[in-house]
A and B are shown apart, each in its own frame.
Chain A
Amino acid sequence: DSGVTQTPKHLITATGQRVTLRCSPRSGDLSVYWYQQSLDQGLQFLIQYYNGEERAKGNILERFSAQQFPDLHSELNLSSLELGDSALYFCASSAIGGINYGYTFGSGTRLTVV
């Protein structure tokens, strides 16, 4: 157990639907990062939250949104799902900014859109 908990592990849903992926960071970590891993694009940064505030945004589609709650868990909301959204979604956490403190990754949520 890495200390970062992601739920659910697997999700199968239909096109057009909306899903929520959840991440609980390692105890004490304030930063949460969301990454998408697809077969054609590899691993890509989506968004970072630090202590409840959005810190950085990457290649995140407008159909996707995220937030970090006061208890520091984070949720990634994916709406109007398309077949191309099928991917592994990883959450990672770090103590502060991550640069000097390293990252801990969750085991990922495998999303399949049919």
Chain B
Amino acid sequence: KNEVEQSPQNLTAQEGEFITINCSYSVGISALHWLQQHPGGGIVSLFMLSSGKKKHGRLIATINIQEKHSSLHITASHPRDSAVYICAVSIGTASKLTFGTGTRLQVTL
């Protein structure tokens, strides 16, 4: 069993829809990261969370430490949000990242 599980694997939405991507982990972590990878490959760090909730523009990330679960929400989705969203964790005191398999999001007009 992977230490980091994401769902769904693939997601198609229409422009304007509210989107939720989920991440569950099975180990103790020091931080959880949400990353975005566009076609062409580059990775951008969206959020780093150790508790609570963070918001940046139309993106909201939440984490529930007790339930070992995090969600990434996109409000008013737009075609430019089409990308792979990756959940990653720092396990214990290690600073290296362990990754989920990613959620491929396609937002259509």
Q: Which residues of A contact B (CB under 8 A)?
A: 2, 31, 33, 35, 42-45, 48, 55-56, 58, 88, 90, 92, 94, 97-100, 102-108, 110
By a CB distance below 8 angstroms, the chain B residues around A43 are 86, 88, 97, 99
A31 nearest in chain B by CB position: B95
Contact B96 A88 (CB under 8 A): no
* Interface pair B30/A99, CB less than 8 Å apart: yes
- Name the residue on A nearest B33 (C-beta): A103
Determine chain A's interface SS by DSSP, over half rule: strand
User: Do the beta carbons of B102 and A99 come within 8 Å of each other?
Assistant: no
The prevalent SS among residues of B at the interface is strand
Contact residues in A for B90 (Cβ distance below 8 Å)? 98-99
Q: List 28 A-B contacts (CB under 8 A).
A: A31-B95, A33-B96, A42-B99, A42-B101, A42-B102, A43-B86, A43-B88, A43-B99, A44-B99, A45-B97, A48-B95, A56-B94, A56-B96, A92-B43, A92-B97, A94-B95, A97-B95, A99-B30, A99-B95, A102-B48, A103-B33, A103-B97, A105-B35, A105-B42, A105-B43, A105-B44, A105-B45, A108-B41
